[in-house]
Amino acid sequence: MTAPVPARPRRVPPPLNERCAVFLDIDGTLLELASAPDKVRVGPGLPPLLLALRRRLGGAVALVTGRSISDVDRLFAGMRMPIAGQHGCERRDAHGTLHLHARETATLQRLRALFTDFARRHEGLLLEDKGATLALHYRRAPQLAAHVHRTVRETVESAGATGYRLQPGKELVEVRPDGRDKGSAIRDFMAEAPFQGRCPVFIGDDRGDEHGFAVVERMRGWTIKVGPGASRAQYRLADVAAVIDWLAAFAQPAPPAAP
C-alpha cells in the first residue's frame, strides 16, 4: 500500500483548463460522508455540474471510487459516466465497455462468511459487500476501530487469502484484490480517448486515494487532497463545498457583470 507522506503546504489548486482530464473520488469529495454508504445524498446541482464539466473537457471526466459501478449508477441515475469502481477492480471506459479484474471467488466467499458473522456479533458494524471487495464500516461504533482492524488482518492471514490486501479508509477497513487500485485505474483511463494526452487531475480525500495521487504525480498531473490529514497531494481543498465551487468555476463560470 502506498503510505501517505507528511502533509505538504496547503496550496489551493490552480484553475482547471481545457487540457485537463479530471478524476473524482465520490465519498468525502463530491458527497458528504454519511453514517452508512446508502445514506449519502446527491444534491440537485451536482449532476448538472458533472455534465457541464464533461462538456467543457470533451468527455474527459471519470469517477474513481471504492463503490461498485452499479451503486454509482444508482446514485447518478441516467448519467453512465466513465467509472472505476471497487478501487479499480471494475472499470467502465468512455465508450461504455466494462473491464473486470476479478480474483478467484472461493477465498472471497470464505472472507465474506467470516466478516458477516463478525459484523453480526458487534452492534454498529456494517459489512458492505461490493462484489469483488468487502468493507467493514465502524462509523457507528468508533470504539471498535482497533478491534476491527486487528480482526480483519488476522482473518485474512488465517484464511490464507493470498492475492488480497487491506485498504484502510475513513472509519472502515476494506479487503480488495492485490494489483488493482485507484492509481492503476487512472493509468488505464489515461491510455484511452478522450483522456489520452491530457494533464490528469485527481481529487480524493482518504488513504485509498494515495495510490491515485502517486500515479498522477508520475504523470506530472495535479493531485488534490480534500480536508485535513497527511497526504502526498500537491494541493488542498478544505471540504466538499470547496471542491464543488472549484469545479463550478470552470464548468459553470459566472456570466460577466453588466456594464
Catalytic positions, written as ranges = 25
For residues 64 and 21, give the distance between their C-alpha atoms in angstroms, rounded to a whole number.
13
CA 156-159-160 angle, 5° bins = 90
Are the beta carbons of 72 and 79 closer than 8 angstroms? no
Closest C-alpha to 162, from 86, 104, 85, 102 = 104
Distance between CA atoms of residues 150 and 86, nearest Å: 22
The DSSP secondary structure of 100-121, one letter per residue, reads E-PPPHHHHHHHHHHHHHHHHT
First and final CA of the chain: distance in angstroms? Answer: 55
Q: Are strands 235-237 and 222-226 parallel, antiparallel or unpaired?
A: parallel
Distance CA 46, CA 78 (A): 13
Can you read off the three cell numbers belonging to residue 96? Answer: 461504455
Percent helix / strand / coil, the chain, rounded to 5: 35, 20, 45
CA proximity to 216, closest of 236, 240, 178, 190: 190
Q: Please count the CA atoms within 13 angstroms of the CA of 148 that sit on its side-chain side.
A: 32
Please report how the helices 240-251 and 46-56 are oriented relative to each other, as an axis angle in degrees rounded to 10.
40
